[in-house]
Every structure is written in structure tokens, then in C-alpha cells.
Structure 1
Amino acid sequence: MPSLVVHPPTSNRFPAALTLLLLGALAGCSGLPDEPAAQLMAQATAQLSSGSATQALPQRWWQLYRDRQLDLLVEQALNHNKDLEAAAAHVDALLARLEQVDSQRQPSTLLTYGVGYGRSRDDQTLAQATGERADAEWSHAPGFSLSYTLDLWGEVRYRLAAARANADAARALEDEWRVMVAAQTTRAYAQACVYAFSSLAQRHSVQVLERSVEVTRKLQQAGAATALDLARLNGLLEETRAPLPMLTARHQAALYELAVLSGMRPQDVARNSCARPPQLQAPLPVGDGWALVQRRADIRRAERQLQAATLAIGVARAELYPRVTFGAALESSASSLGKLGDSEALVYSVGPLLSWRFPNRGVAQAQVGQRRAQAREAQARFDATVLSALKQVEQALALYQGEQQRRQALQAALDNSQQVFELATRSHRAGALDALQLLDSERSLVSLQATLAQADLRLINRQIDLFQALGGGWQRDDQPQPLPLAALGAKP
């Protein structure tokens, strides 16, 4: 299925089509036939294809900003974050558990060898019967046993598949952490850039106002301006200078956060920090809605948890039936070390062992009921996760569209305000405009510059929210495949 690029400001078809796709996913996971889901996918794809360009969602969306410093910081964060390190250790533990369960499919062996000095009960009985005295002697008891449980009811297969599903769920959780770390790093970087840019713009405004104050002071001395004009301009100067300390402090706070996330020293981050807000250098890719179900780590984790809960029913049901174990044992009854290999001293047994909880099977039946309830809970959580993903995508798209339109309007307002200020400055120098009107135009220009900088930060945050909602941020090259229950050889 092709992936698509949708331009959010002009297309509103993605949420509706994604609704159909995700409902199709829910139907498929609920045990319904595959045909309705396939029909819904075809209908949604046809709606998405109109007015859209083909382009896949990139694996590392932050590279769309084409900022080498941002790429470096995100890679540093993905390699040095402590939460990711803990998540990776949890995955390793579950993979070790998977190997442990897998080993249960192999026969188990036991090799023993005991040696002792004394008299046995049989020797003492024989001595009493014959009227002789039993002497103490060395005894040897070598033994070898082999046992293999016949997996007649699929218990071992279910345990192995459930362990694999739990390991995959842990890997998906690790991917969730990666998505979050990448988003946090990008947000902190954007904040550092925006606050650095805002500080530069604010300082430039302060410098312009300082020159205006100086000119007004000279005009006052010459009698061309009043003390009120100078006082008002001084007030605007201090008002413009006031945000500078907090902008500097927020810039430093963003750099410290970047240092913690990336494992770098704050001075190294500050040395390479940007001075302008990052901008997307390519159309914002959305991709097809069906791929959302496969990309999002939380959906994959919920799916694997549902699989593990469903497979646990089969494990519990196996307890209702007899367990057959095939065993073989080989021992020696030799009384001395030199006679261990004698055929007369060899003792062996081969045969099956049958064990069954009968007639008291209440414990096993209660466990089956418990596992069925847990599977229904996992199904509900999976459905809720998919619906929540749909909601997040729709909300992220709507908020991004609104923020982008708001930013465009602010940019147009700033351009007009810049033009008004330039015209007002010329008119004031020509004597056609009083100082109060010039002051109002300058105050409007300074305010719009600060507002636009904040709009840039909000727009970047909305972009990050949308990328997260679409499942962007981290896709493994070795994504685990779903575990169809039909391939397990049994039906829970």
C-alpha cells in the first residue's frame, strides 16, 4: 500500500479515512473476518489518494529540519539516556526468559553420583537372617535419568509464544521511550533556538529604542520635543528591556535540559546552540493511515500484550488435561567401584508417567476463568489504545492547522507593522506625525515581534505532537512480526 503526504492546511480528509482504517484494525483484532477490514482499507485509500502526493513518513522525522546540530543532539540522547538504558535491560531480561521457556521443549537430563561408607538396611537384614555380622564397606550410587514431557495440549508452545509476545511488548515499550526522548530533545532544542532568537530580536529593539531616546533627548533640548515625549519613550525602552532576563534564563534552562538528555556538558551544548528557530525544509509527511497501526509503539505493545493474555488461556487450559512424561533411568547396584560396569549390577527403567488432577480440577478451572477475564481486559485496552491514537492524530492535525494559520496571520501583521513603523518614522522626521503616534507604532512592532517568536515555538511543538501521534520517531530495522494463533498448533 502506498504512503501519502497530506498538506494539513488544505486537506481535512485524513482523520475520516484514518477512522475507517483503525476501525478495520479493531475488527481484525476482534476475530472478525478479514474481508470487511480489507474493504475499509481500500475505501480509505481511495479517499486519501485524491489531492495527495506519495511520500512515506520518515523514520527519523527530526531530520526534516535539516539541522545537523539537532541530529547530533537527538542521536546523543538516544545513545546516552538512562531511561532507555533501563528499558533495554528489561528487554534483555525478557529475552533471557524466552530462552528459558524455549529450553523446556528439550528433554531434561540428570546425572548423579553418590559415594558413602557404612552398612545398608539390606545388608543388616541379611546379616540378621544368616546370623552373621554385616561389615561396613564403601558404596557407590551412580545414576542417569532422562525425562521428556509430551506437549499433547500445546502448553509448551503457548508458553513459548506468550514469552515471545511479552518480549516484543517490552521492545515496543523501549521504542515508546525512544519516541519520547527524541521529542523531548527536539522540544528543548527548539526552545533554546527560539529564546536565543527572541533575545537577539529584543536586544535589537532595545538598541533601536535607545537611539530613539537619544534623538528625542536632543530634540527636547532644541525645543522640538517635550518632556512627556521623552518620558513615554523611556517607559517603552524599559518595557522592552524587561523580558531580557527571563529570555536569557529560559534559554539557559533549555540548554541544561539538552545537556541532561544528550549526555553532553552544558558548555558544549551552548557552544553549538542555534540562533534561529528550526524550520521544516520539506512538506510535512503524513503517510497512509493503515501504517499508523504498525508504526505506533503503544499500539504494537498493546497488541503483543493482547496476544500474551490470549495465549495464557491455552496455558491454563492445559492444566485440565493429563500430563504425560516419558522417562528413562539408568543406575548401578555395584558394591565396589570396580564392579560399576558389570551387567548384573545395572538397574534401568523406561516408561511413561501420567499425572492428572482428577476429580479435583477446581483450581485449574478457576485459572482458566481468570485468564479469560484478563484476555478481555487486554482486548479492551487494545481497543482503547487504537481509539486514543485516532483521537491524538485528529487533535494534532487540527491544532497544527490552527497554529500554522495563526502564525501566518501574525507574520502578515508583523510585515504590516514594520511598514507602518517605517512610514511613521519618515512622517515624524518630516514633522507630519507627532511623537505619540510614532511611539504607538513602535510599541506595536516590538509586541508583534515577541508574539511571533512565541508562535514559532508553539508551531514547532505542534509539529512534534503530530509526528508523535503519527508514530514517528523510531522504527526498528528488525520489527517483530505478529504471532498468528493459527500458527501455534492449538486454539486457546
Structure 2
Amino acid sequence: MPSLVVHPPTSNRSPVALALLLLGTLAGCSGLPDEPAAQLTAQATPPLSSGPATQALPARWWQLYRDPQLDLLVEQALSHNQDLEAAAAHVDALLARLEQVEGERQPSTRLAYSVGYGRSRDDQTLAQASGEQADAEWSHAPGFSLSYTLDLWGEMRYRLAAARADAQAARALEDEWRVTVAAQTTRAYGQACVYAFSRQVQRHSVQVLERSVDVTRRLQKAGAATALDLARLNGLLEETRAPLPLLAARHQAALYELAVLSGLPPLAVARQTCAQRPQLQAPLPVGDGWALVQRRADIRRAERQLQSATLAIGIARAALYPRVTFGAALASSASSLGKLGDSEALVYSVGPLLSWRFPQRGVARAQVGQRRAQAREAQARFDGTVLSALKQVEQALVLYQAEQQRRQALQAALDHSQQAFELATRSYRAGALDALHLLDSERRLVTLQATLARADLRLINRQIDLFQALGGGWQRDDQPQPLPLAALGAKP
């Protein structure tokens, strides 16, 4: 930071020297720290539960599904989502504010030139004293001034560091939106796939039941089945056909969601989609839980907000002390354009300006107390964010493992039900089993198929919840440029 060094004479100290001596005394008594009033310290956190695998979570976790269409949809959403565009604009606004604060540290200059025709007050006074009449004439008033506020109390350094922290918090918020958009896109894609697959399963069940109805109808004509058997099968057929319109509507709604996430109108969605549920093609990597939680954007944002709130204390405390401005001014008192350069007309002034608003110290002290309370609030929010992150990861792990076990059990039940239905069908056609038992077997098979499809969707959602809790998905190839600051090297 620029400094002003003045060597006063050994005797008869000048007013400038006395002012600087006073400023040095005030600076020594201020008690303001050279660094922020509070430093961020590492928080002790409990370890997370061990996960299914110890590999690091990839930056693009959705690529674990190895689905090119999903990869394309997520990349489109990250490039064209309107919420992300708004978050990026917010970051740009804070970066511009950061440049403004950086510019305020530099000396300010003013260049002026005015010209007028008439009589000045001095001319009138002279004319009255001499008993003559003052003549009107052209007057010129050029001037140049330079002022620089000495940052004795660190106010500008605190403001610059706080602005940098605010910009970094905004960038972390943008990263949070990237995590959310990636998760929402994957979730909507999974829903579209599961609903499409469920429609296929439901249609297949309808086809199987239609064949059973035809067989039962023929058996009824042959006297081997009753009208009651046929009525029951027809009822099950219509019950199985009933979910088809809702599945189609949910599939279309998921496609609309994908379109809007990609920044497109809902009706502009592509009609092509998968017909199988997305499945992880590699073990779910969790690795070191706390190291992964640290990459969460909400924790980084809370940390930057805490830093900004802490620095605001220093900004408020600086108002308790006088503001010192070093200034220089150059002007001319010439009465005509030809005399502007005469040394007799040169007017200049150099020296410090000390301003101190004593009646406002009570307000300044109240603002310091307010900033301290806000810093405590930011600290509590940061601690709460860390604890919440740990909770979300633990919950996501437990629920995902439970959902995975539930689906495995449902798959085993469906396999057994499929085997039982095939045996019941052969026994019914051979006359060894009545139609009621065949109907129960068929109803059980259809119910388990629908339940397994819903379990597929729940499992995908649990996977996405876990990935989102671990904070993945905000990294990108075009990493944002470092904040455009000389401030990166200027510690508050």
C-alpha cells in the first residue's frame, strides 16, 4: 500500500509533521488487527460410514451409468439451464463489484476548466475601494486535484477481502445449482426410462392376460371352465390395463421436465428415450466420506459467508477512527487566458486532510456490535451446514443400501412368482388346477412386476440422492478463471 513519508525539520515542527505525529499515535492506539478478527478453523467432524467402494467419486458421476443419451442430456442442461444462467449473471455482478472496490483503492483525480464573462467579487470590492467602476471581463478557472485516502485502519483491505469472499460465495452458489441441475436431469431421465419400461411390462402383462382370457373362453365352451372363471379373468385384465394411461402421462411429464431443464420449451422435447432403467455399470464409489463432503458447494458457500461476516467487523471498526486523505490541488488565478501560465497566478495546495465525526461514534460502536452478532450467526450457520451435510450423506447411504436390499428381495420374489405362474398354467391346462388358483398366481405375478418397477425408480432416486449429498457434479472442463484481482495476494 502506498505510504507517505515526511522528514520534518529538527526545529519548529511544521503543521504537517504535527498532523502525521498525531496520526501515528492514533494508529498505535487503535488496536485493530492486521488480519481478520477471526480465523476459520478446521471443525472436528465424525467419520462417515464406509461405503460400497473406496474409489473417489468421479466429477461426472452420471457417467457411471454409461448411458450416452444421459450424458448428452446432462451436458445440455449444464450448458443451457436458465437457473444456471441466472446464477452465472449473479457471479458476474459480484465480480464487477469486486473490481469497483479494487478501483476505489486507487487515487482519484479531477480535472476542471471553467470560463465565464462578468464581474468577480474581488473586482467589485476593489472598485468600491478606489471609487471606480469595475469592468466586465472574461475569466478562466482551470484546476486539477488529486486525492488518496490513507488506509491506516485497514478499511479498504477489509472491504476488498469481503468483496472477494462474497464473489466466491456466489460462485459456490452457482456450483450448488450445477449439482442440483445434474441431479434433476438424471432423476427426470430415470423416471422417463422407468415409466417407459413399466409401460412395456404392463403391456406384456395385458397380453398374457388376454391370452388367458382366450384360453378360458375356449375352455368354457368345452365345459371345462365356468362363466365365473371368465368374469374374474376379465376383471383382472381391465385392472391390469388401467395403469397404462397414467404411465404414459408420467412418461411424457418426465420428458417435459427434461426439456425445461435443458432450457427448451416443454413441447420441444425429443421423443426418443430409453426403454430400460439406468443401471450402474460400476460399483458405487464413496471413498473417504469427509473428504467428499468437503467438496460440497453449500459448505464452501457457508465458509465464504462466514469469512465475509468476520471481515465486516473490521470494516465497521474502521469507522471509529478518523479518515485521513492526502490531497494535492493545482489551479490558476489568472484573469485572462494569456496569463494562465504565469508563476504569479499559480495556486497549489498539498497536505493531509483529517476528518473525524465525533457525534457518530455511538452509531459506529452499535454497527460493530451488529457485525459481531452477524459473524456469530454466520459461524452457527456454517457449523449447521457441516452437520447437515454429514447427516444427509449418512441418511443417503443407509436408505440406498436398504432400497438396494429391498429390490433384490423383490426380484427374487418375482422370479419365484414367474416360476409358480408357469407351473400353475401347465397344471390348469392339464386340468389339475382350478381357475381360481391360476387367477391368484397371475394376479400375484402382475402385482410383483408393477412393484418391482416402482422399486427400480426408488433405487435410482436413492442413488441420485447419495451422489447429490456427496457434492459431485459441479466440476466442468471450462473451469472458471481465477477471480480477476490483485486482491488475491492482498491479505486483509
TM-score by structure 1 length? 0.87
Question: In angstroms, what is the RMSD of aligned CA positions?
Answer: 2.5
Q: What residue is the counterpart of 2:473 in the other structure? A: 473
Q: Is the Cα–Cα contact under 8 Å of residues 52 and 286 in structure 2 kept in the other structure? A: no
> Is 1:247 equivalent to 2:247 in the alignment?
yes
Question: What CA distance in whole angstroms lies between the structure 2 residues aligned with 1:32 and 1:472?
Answer: 24
Q: Is the Cα–Cα contact under 8 Å of residues 154 and 489 in structure 1 kept in the other structure? A: no
Give the counterpart letter for 1:103 in structure 2. Answer: G
Q: Is the Cα–Cα contact under 8 Å of residues 293 and 300 in structure 1 kept in the other structure? A: no
Q: What residue is the counterpart of 2:76 in the other structure? A: 76
Question: What CA distance in whole angstroms lies between the structure 2 residues aligned with 1:315 and 1:30?
Answer: 13
Q: What residue is the counterpart of 1:463 in the other structure? A: 463
Q: What does 1:8-87 correspond to in 2, within 5 Å?
A: 54-87=54-87
Comparing 255-264 with 435-444, greater Cα deviation is found at 255-264
1:430-449: CA deviations, max 9, x gaps? Answer: 22222211111111111100
Q: Is the Cα–Cα contact under 8 Å of residues 53 and 285 in structure 2 kept in the other structure? A: no
1:145-181: CA deviations, max 9, x gaps? Answer: 0011111111000000000111111111111112111
Q: What does 1:178-327 correspond to in 2, within 5 Å?
A: 178-264=178-264, 269-327=269-327
Question: What CA distance in whole angstroms lies between the structure 1 residues aligned with 2:295 and 2:71?
Answer: 21
- By how many angstroms is 1:223 displaced? 1.2
- By how many angstroms is 1:265 displaced? 5.7
Give the counterpart letter for 2:331 in structure 1. Answer: E
Question: What CA distance in whole angstroms lies between the structure 1 residues aligned with 2:243 and 2:126?
Answer: 104
Q: Where does structure 1 differ by over 6 angstroms across 4 or more consecutive aligned residues?
A: none
Give the counterpart letter for 1:311 in structure 2. Answer: L
- By how many angstroms is 1:370 displaced? 0.7
Q: What residue is the counterpart of 1:402 in the other structure? A: 402
- Change in Cα spacing, 1:360 to 1:273, as seen in structure 2 (3 Å) is closer
- By how many angstroms is 1:269 displaced? 3.5
Structure 1 residue runs without a partner (length 5+): 1-28
Comparing 355-364 with 239-248, greater Cα deviation is found at 355-364
Q: What does 1:91-490 correspond to in 2, within 5 Å?
A: 91-264=91-264, 269-358=269-358, 361-475=361-475, 477-478=479-480
- Change in Cα spacing, 1:59 to 1:113, as seen in structure 2 (3 Å) is same
Give the counterpart letter for 1:336 in structure 2. Answer: S
1:251-290: CA deviations, max 9, x gaps? Answer: 1111111111113465664422111111111111113233
- By how many angstroms is 1:113 displaced? 0.8
State the percentage of identical aligned residues.
84
Question: What CA distance in whole angstroms lies between the structure 2 residues aligned with 1:300 and 1:457?
Answer: 31
- By how many angstroms is 1:115 displaced? 0.9
Question: What CA distance in whole angstroms lies between the structure 2 residues aligned with 1:269 and 1:198?
Answer: 20
- Change in Cα spacing, 1:33 to 1:397, as seen in structure 2 (3 Å) is closer
Comparing 221-230 with 448-457, greater Cα deviation is found at 221-230
Q: Is the Cα–Cα contact under 8 Å of residues 146 and 329 in structure 2 kept in the other structure? A: yes
- Change in Cα spacing, 1:416 to 1:270, as seen in structure 2 (3 Å) is farther
Q: Is the Cα–Cα contact under 8 Å of residues 69 and 272 in structure 1 kept in the other structure? A: no
- By how many angstroms is 1:230 displaced? 1.0
- Change in Cα spacing, 1:53 to 1:190, as seen in structure 2 (3 Å) is closer
Give the counterpart letter for 1:349 in structure 2. Answer: S
1:443-490: CA deviations, max 9, x gaps? Answer: 111110000000000000011111111111213535979x9x998656
- Change in Cα spacing, 1:150 to 1:293, as seen in structure 2 (3 Å) is farther
- Change in Cα spacing, 1:151 to 1:135, as seen in structure 2 (3 Å) is same
Question: What CA distance in whole angstroms lies between the structure 2 residues aligned with 1:124 and 1:308?
Answer: 58
Comparing 425-434 with 135-144, greater Cα deviation is found at 425-434
Question: What CA distance in whole angstroms lies between the structure 2 residues aligned with 1:157 and 1:323?
Answer: 14
Question: What CA distance in whole angstroms lies between the structure 2 residues aligned with 1:209 and 1:331?
Answer: 101
Give the counterpart letter for 1:123 in structure 2. Answer: D
TM-score by structure 2 length? 0.87
1:81-102: CA deviations, max 9, x gaps? Answer: 2221111111111111000001
- Change in Cα spacing, 1:30 to 1:423, as seen in structure 2 (3 Å) is farther
- Change in Cα spacing, 1:204 to 1:141, as seen in structure 2 (3 Å) is same
Q: Is the Cα–Cα contact under 8 Å of residues 293 and 470 in structure 2 kept in the other structure? A: no
- Change in Cα spacing, 1:230 to 1:33, as seen in structure 2 (3 Å) is closer
2:294 match: secondary structure: helix
Q: Is the Cα–Cα contact under 8 Å of residues 295 and 475 in structure 1 kept in the other structure? A: no
- Change in Cα spacing, 1:156 to 1:33, as seen in structure 2 (3 Å) is closer
- By how many angstroms is 1:72 displaced? 1.4
- By how many angstroms is 1:131 displaced? 1.7
- Change in Cα spacing, 1:290 to 1:166, as seen in structure 2 (3 Å) is same
Q: Is the Cα–Cα contact under 8 Å of residues 158 and 488 in structure 1 kept in the other structure? A: no
1:431 match: secondary structure: coil
